Structures are given as structure tokens and as C-alpha cells.
Amino acid sequence: MFIGHYGPALAAKAAVKTVPLWVLFVAAQWVDFLWAAFVIAGVEKARIVENFIGVTPLDLYYMPYTHGLPSAVLLSLAMGGVVALAFKGDRVAVVLAVAAVAFSHWLLDLIVHAPDLALVFDQMKVGFGLWAYPYISVPVEIALVLGGVWLYDRAVPSPRRAGTIALWGLGFAMAALQVQNSFFNEHPKDPAAFAMLSLTGYTALAVLAAGVDYLRRPRT
């Protein structure tokens, strides 16, 4: 899953208003940030197989450290703990909400991935494979993001019109990015380049989310 991961991040704003959106964006892709770094470092492995599943060319045959279930749980809790230490607010609520956003990554991957998510270390792999049907999976991803935008905008309305426009603008831009990425994209030819592109994309989206945070900051 790509932009769909940001749906839970946007929705979490309703629960933990003190945590910036960009932090929730990083939490939502936290295990993929590590995955990309590990693929570049050669610790986790993938290979490019044209149309491996639907329009997705990645065979993710070895990623136990980031996408194995036990690791994903631990990484999510760690992310929740770090964010709770760094930002004010009800600490228990922040740990739970941020850990839930981080772990939603694994659950959403479970829906779309081929069976490549290990339940124990690199064993017993699961994945329901919705990516085989991109004309279903892409609308699902877009619905998750726009649903999250709607929830966030309703729970924490922007004090400025620019903040509302920026949030919805980001949501629709992400939807366009998903369509482009799924149907009109030349994929990188090796996994490390793919990982680098992912890192760049996730970082750019977190920076744009910080811009949205700025435009939606409370009036003083």
C-alpha cells in the first residue's frame, strides 16, 4: 500500500491533537522507512518482477526485520514511546494512538500484499493480495486518504481558510500521485532505486504535511 497508509495518520489527528501531522505521516510509513534503508543496505531483500502482483513489480521475498509481525508490533510501540516523550499531551493516549498508526501499516499491507508478511521470523507468510486488482486497490487507497482528510478537518477545523485548502489540496494531490504511480509510471529497474524513490516520496509527503501543520496552527 502507498498513500492509503496516510488515512490512519490523518484520522489519528482527531485523537491526539498535540502530535503534528508530519509526525503521524512518518509513523504511518515508519516500517517502510526502515524497509527502504534495509533494502539499500542489503539487510532485507526484494527483486523486480514485472507485474509481480497487479501493477506492482516488487517481489518482497525477505523483509523479516520490518514487516514480520513481531517486529512490526515492537517497532510500532517504540515509535509510540518516542513520540510520547517528544510531544506533550496525554502520554498514554499518544503512545497508543501513534503505535496504532504505525501498526496500521502492517494491517493495510496485509490486505494488499502478496503473501510476503511473516507471522514468525521469515516463516508463515500472509497477504490477501488485493494488489492483484488495482482497479479496486487504488480506489481503496484514495478513499482511505480522503476519508482521513475529512475526519481530521472535522475534528480539528483550521483557524484559517488556507489551512483547509492546503489539507484538501494535499489529499487530492496524494490521490493523483497514487494514480500516476500505479498506472503511468516507469518503475525503477532495481530494488535499491525503488527503495530510494520510496524514501524520497515518504520524506516529501512528511515535509508537505509539516506545511499543512503550519497553515493550520492555532491562532495566537
Q: Which spans of this chain sit near Zn ion (rule: CB under 5 A)?
A: 32, 109
Quote the least distance from Cβ 142 to Zn ion, whole Å. 18
CA–CA gap between residue 165 and residue 216 (Å, rounded)? 10
Q: Of the two residues 84 and 103, which places its CB atom closer to Zn ion in the complex?
A: 103
Could you count the other beta carbons within 10 Å of the beta carbon of residue 195? 23
Which residue number, 142 or 166, has a Cβ lying nearer to Zn ion? 142
C-beta of 11 vs 112, nearer to Zn ion: 112
Min CB(5)–Zn ion separation in Å? 8
Q: What is the rounded distance in angstroms from the CA atom of residue 156 to the CA atom of residue 148?
A: 12
Helix or strand or coil: residue 1? coil
Q: For residues 102 and 212, which CB has a smaller minimum distance to Zn ion in the complex? A: 102
CB 93 to Zn ion: min, Å: 25
- Which amino acid type is present at position 150? W
Q: What is the SS3 assignment for 12-77?
A: HCCCCCCCCHHHHHHHHCHHHHHHHHHHHHCCCEEEEEEEEECCEEEEEEECHHHHCHHHHHHHHH
Minimum distance between the CB of residue 90 and Zn ion, rounded to whole angstroms?
28
